[in-house]
Structure 1
Amino acid sequence: MPERKESVATGVRTGEKTPLEMLARLKGRDGGRFLTGEAHEAGERLLSDFTRAQMQPRVTASLQPRLESRGRGMRADAGEISVSALDARRRVSRALVAVGPELADVLLDFVCFEKGLEQLERERQWPVRSAKLMVRTALLTLARHYAPPPPRRTLRHWGGEGFRPDISAMFAEE
């Protein structure tokens, strides 16, 4: 299986498709797309922010001394991270809070860590073909976070048309 590589600087991916791209290509029962365009874009946006935030765990060892490189009360990488990476971390955090704790880990595993649907079902001991629905629900919730519906501008009240009494007869001259 070819390994997918990504350049953080350019954001260009090469190699096999991500699980998100493969899910976006699936068809629903009605023949339309299983995943809406907004949900796919929301997943791509989360992946982009996750990559920009440099939140992917390190695979290699760091040869820098741990204790001498950080000050008191600071994280080891706090001085090395850029402002754009910090902003991306805030965006990822806000997005995961918005979808809720039930769906945040599903999004992280599927979109960011690129675990497949079968792997999600195996790890969580879900029934077969249930991860597809959970991922779709999580992506639709994420899409609603990124593009909330417009607020309703109409006045809302309990009365229907003509619910007010006609009092013009009281002011009519006899």
Structure 2
Amino acid sequence: MGRERALETIEVVVDGVCARVEIDLDESPLGWLARRRGRDGKAFIAPAQLLAGERLRVDFTRAQMTPRLTADWNAPARRGRGSSPGLTFSEAALAARERLGRAVEAVGPEFSGLLLDVCCFLKGLEEVERERAWPARTAKVVLALGLDRLARHYGLSDAAQGPSRTLVRGWTAPEETGPA
């Protein structure tokens, strides 16, 4: 008997278009962390962190940055002149690379390597700790900090927050009174 896959549908905005993407939570180390609970009963990573990491992975995949060992015979056909408007395949890949570059720059060099390893190359936390000679359970803490910074870059938050003060809607100068 096969085990059911843990699929979740998330919404991502790519090039101003909102799209629903189905992710396999068993495939991603982030999905594993999102399902696990700590001693306090809270998930190891928050929904906004999961969404930010999966959004990074979507851009990484669309940017065609996954390593290949052979030719890709499943690549989509290129559109001709009479096709529908929008980005060509190569333009979409270039746009995804630009978004990925901005995200990596926003999180900084401290977190970018770890985020790429875990979110994009799907390395487990133990493997990352072993490769970097980090103490056990260190990667989980550093990953959470990196995902927080990535979520902030994408404008994601676990709680809705309004402006801290009301914006000025109009401005009038005080009336000057002349000599009476």
Deviation at residue 59 of structure 1 after TM alignment: 1.6
Change (3 A) 1:124 1:150: farther
Matched with 1:46 is: 56
Residue 59 of structure 1: aligned partner: 69
* Aligned mates of 1:104, 1:15 — CA distance in 2: 22
Gaps of 5+ in 1: 1-10, 63-79, 156-174
Q: Which residue of 2 aligns with 1:82?
A: 90
Aligned partners of 1:81 and 1:44: how far apart in 2? 21
CA RMSD of aligned residues (A): 2.7
Q: How many residues align?
A: 129
Q: How many Å apart are 1:88 and its aligned residue?
A: 0.5
TM-score (norm 1): 0.66
From the superposition, tell whether residues 15 and 36 of structure 1 become closer, same or farther in structure 2 (CA, over 3 Å).
Answer: closer
Q: Residues 81 and 138 of structure 1: is their aligned pair in 2 closer, same or farther, counting only changes over 3 Å?
A: same
Residues 1:21 and 2:31 aligned together = yes
Q: Does 1:92 align with 2:100?
A: yes
Provide the residue aligned with 2:143 in structure 1.
135
Q: Which residue of 2 aligns with 1:104?
A: 112
* CA deviation map 1:123-164 (0-9, x unaligned): 000001111111111111100110167664369xxxxxxxxx
Based on CA coordinates, which of the two structures has the bigger radius of gyration?
A: 1
Per-residue deviation, residues 72-98 of structure 1 (Å, max 9, x unmatched) = xxxxxxxx9611111110110000000
Unaligned runs of 5+ in 2: 1-20, 73-87, 168-180
**What is the identity percentage for the equivalent residue pairs of Structure 1 and Structure 2?**
52
Superposed CA deviations along residues 26-76 of structure 1, whole A, max 9, x for unmatched, are 1122102121110000001000111011011222269xxxxxxxxxxxxxx
Instruction: Decide whether the 8 Å contact of 2:25 with 2:32 is kept in 1.
Output: no
Distance 1:134 1:16 in 2: 21
